[in-house]
Structure 1
Amino acid sequence: MDVFHAMQVFVSVIETGSFTKAAQALHLHRPAVSKTIQLLEQQLGGRLLNRTTRQLSLTPEGEAFHERCKTILAEVDETMASFGNRPARLAGRLRVDMPVTLARLLIIPALMDFQQQYPDIELTIGASDKPIDMLSEGVDCVVRMGALEDSSLIASGIGYLPMVTCAAPSYLQRFGTPQSLGDLPQHQAVNYFSGSNPRPIEWLFTVDGQTTAMRLKSGIRVNDTEAFIASALAGFGLLQALEISVHEHLQNGSLLRVLEEFPVPAKRVSILYPHRDLLPPKVEAFVQWLKGLMLAHRLS
């Protein structure tokens, strides 16, 4: 059995809603379509369709198989088109995982532009600050910030995001405003930790052109970006955060900049995807769009 042909037949049956219409669309005899579906079900060891005299419906296994078939056929179409003389028709499902802050404040507000450029790409966005397993979860690419752990994934830098050190007025009234890095041992911080590792992320400062790393005593530790900002607003400690995540609070005075003489190095933003000899065109299109978005915001 030609599995690729069988997938095409199966998808056509679902999209047209009948064996007869699928046969007409594919220029096949109806018995050939029916036989192909039967052989496909035998090959897979399970029923894909519930058949009645009036309608067809997918079994749960059939629904899952249908989604996979659509993805595979779309990627084959993209690959063949990319080597031909006509522009690739980018289509299919694209699943991207990204940090909550980037999703909410930067990427999703601009994402309609990508959708308008590529209307046949079905976007699935995961917004999470927790590590994921791309392969087991079926994620096409992941946007991440900061230093990256060693892995088998391919990483491409797409820009940088400005950082800021700040604190709530209520905290500064209690502990005073630090004037130098030497004052920091007398202060406490809102510290962020990632995943199941409770060790907080280091604080970074630029001193005479060199990066200095420090660990500050925790007023509180959190692993969620919303709780991270909320803890600083509540006065738990000094905060190092993405400027875009606290811009509104800096504007209205609920957070105040500190240690401006010791700027924080900008946070690197990268996009990661599984190692492949040929990157799917829809993923490449998203990578290029995101690089353009970073550039447009003067963050690269």
Structure 2
Amino acid sequence: MDQITAMRVFARVVEAGAFARAADQLQMPKPSVTKLVQQLETHLKVKLLQRTTRRVTVTPEGAAYYERTARVLRDIDEIESDLRQDRTDPKGCIRVDVGSVVANLIVMPRLPGFYQRFPHVQLALGVSDRPVDLVGEAVDCVIRGGALTDQSLVARRIARMAFTTVASPAYLKRHGVPESPQELLDGRHAMASFFSAGTGRIVPAPYVRGAERFEIAGQGPISVNESTAHVNAALAGLGLVQTFGPIVQPHIESGALVEVLAEWAPPPMPFHVAYRPNRHLSAKLRVFVDWVVEVFAPYNTAR
């Protein structure tokens, strides 16, 4: 028995739900399909499928075997594909997860350039600010700011993004321009805070000037757990917002937002693109990671 072929035939039967349909899709005689599945069951000493005259159902053992071998078969296909094709023409779909504001303002506007270079790569782009389980959610890579909590991941640093505190002109007209973070602690100013989608806790906004340090948390009427909404809170005049400078720079240039407390900016935050170490780095994922490094290069300096 060719075990790899038998695994592929079994997977197709599961997906097609019938031996005859699988045989048609594989362009094989139905007796050959049946024989390969029977040989696989004999080899494994377990029943993989329950057969009736009308339908085929998967046993619990068969479902577990299908789930694990499907991943193996995909990896084999990727390895063979990489060997056959040039790196300049990778093919296939990759799943990427990225924070909302970074996705909308940095990644998405530049994707047409990526597709011009790699027209046969498709992206399934998950946009969220919550922690992602790469293994459990079958995600190929993530783009995230801050310290990496999962030390098992392979990570490439792609940027160090400076922080900026902003407010709308309408807010500043009502409340004045703050000169120190102490004014937030004293209640003279409000801050639209950011809370973690994973823990529900407010993420303190740090302010640093020399040896002085403040951490501001929950000093305002609203907190959000999504980065685009965080910027929109500033635009709506709901308070001060500390966020990444390059993200709000267009709003500063247009006059929709005004930078404040510039001398209190904390150190820049590192950004990484990360993926699993036991993940076969296919050509499609490799070119995407390299492209991400290029896209974020202008943000890889302190302010």
TM-score (norm 1): 0.75
- 1:33-72 equivalences in 2 (<5 Å): 33-36=33-36, 45-46=48-49, 72=72
Separation (CA, whole Å) in 2 of partners of 1:117 and 1:66: 35
1:101 partner SS: helix
Unaligned runs of at least 5 residues, structure 1: 53-57
> Which residue of 1 is the match for residue 90 of structure 2?
90
Please state if 1:19 is matched with 2:18: no
CA gap of 1:135–1:47, structure 2 versus 1, over 3 A, is farther
- Conservation of the 8 A alpha-carbon contact between 1:165 and 1:264: no
Separation (CA, whole Å) in 2 of partners of 1:226 and 1:152: 29
Residue type at the aligned position of 1:75: D
Cα drift, residue 181 of structure 1 = 4.0
> Which residue of 2 is the match for residue 199 of structure 1?
201
Cα deviation code 1:52-94 (max 9, x no counterpart): 9xxxxx99x99xx999877644532443566x69735633331
- 1:166-181 equivalences in 2 (<5 Å): 166-181=166-181
CA gap of 1:94–1:78, structure 2 versus 1, over 3 A, is same
Cα drift, residue 244 of structure 1 = 4.0
- 1:1-300 equivalences in 2 (<5 Å): 1-9=1-9, 19=23, 22-23=26-27, 31-36=31-36, 45-46=48-49, 72-80=72-80, 87=86, 90-186=90-186, 187-208=189-210, 212=213, 214-219=215-220, 220-276=222-278, 279-295=281-297, 298-300=298-300
Separation (CA, whole Å) in 2 of partners of 1:46 and 1:231: 55
TM-score (norm 2): 0.74
Measured on the aligned residues, the alpha-carbon RMSD in Å equals 4.0
Cα drift, residue 2 of structure 1 = 3.6
Cα deviation code 1:140-160 (max 9, x no counterpart): 111111222244323221113
Residue type at the aligned position of 1:254: A
- Conservation of the 8 A alpha-carbon contact between 1:41 and 1:47: no
CA gap of 1:263–1:20, structure 2 versus 1, over 3 A, is closer
Cα drift, residue 206 of structure 1 = 4.9
Residue type at the aligned position of 1:126: G
Cα drift, residue 211 of structure 1 = 8.9
Separation (CA, whole Å) in 2 of partners of 1:255 and 1:38: 69
2:142 partner SS: strand
1:134 partner SS: coil
Residue type at the aligned position of 1:87: D
2:49 partner SS: coil
> Which residue of 2 is the match for residue 55 of structure 1?
none
Unaligned runs of at least 5 residues, structure 2: none
Cα drift, residue 180 of structure 1 = 3.3
CA gap of 1:118–1:166, structure 2 versus 1, over 3 A, is same
2:132 partner SS: coil
Separation (CA, whole Å) in 2 of partners of 1:67 and 1:127: 26
Identical residues among aligned pairs (%):
32
Query: Which piece of structure 1 moves more, 132-141 or 106-115?
Result: 106-115
Separation (CA, whole Å) in 2 of partners of 1:130 and 1:112: 26
- Conservation of the 8 A alpha-carbon contact between 1:204 and 1:265: no
Separation (CA, whole Å) in 2 of partners of 1:180 and 1:32: 78
- Conservation of the 8 A alpha-carbon contact between 1:158 and 1:269: yes
Query: Which piece of structure 1 moves more, 123-132 or 180-189?
Result: 180-189
Cα drift, residue 166 of structure 1 = 0.7
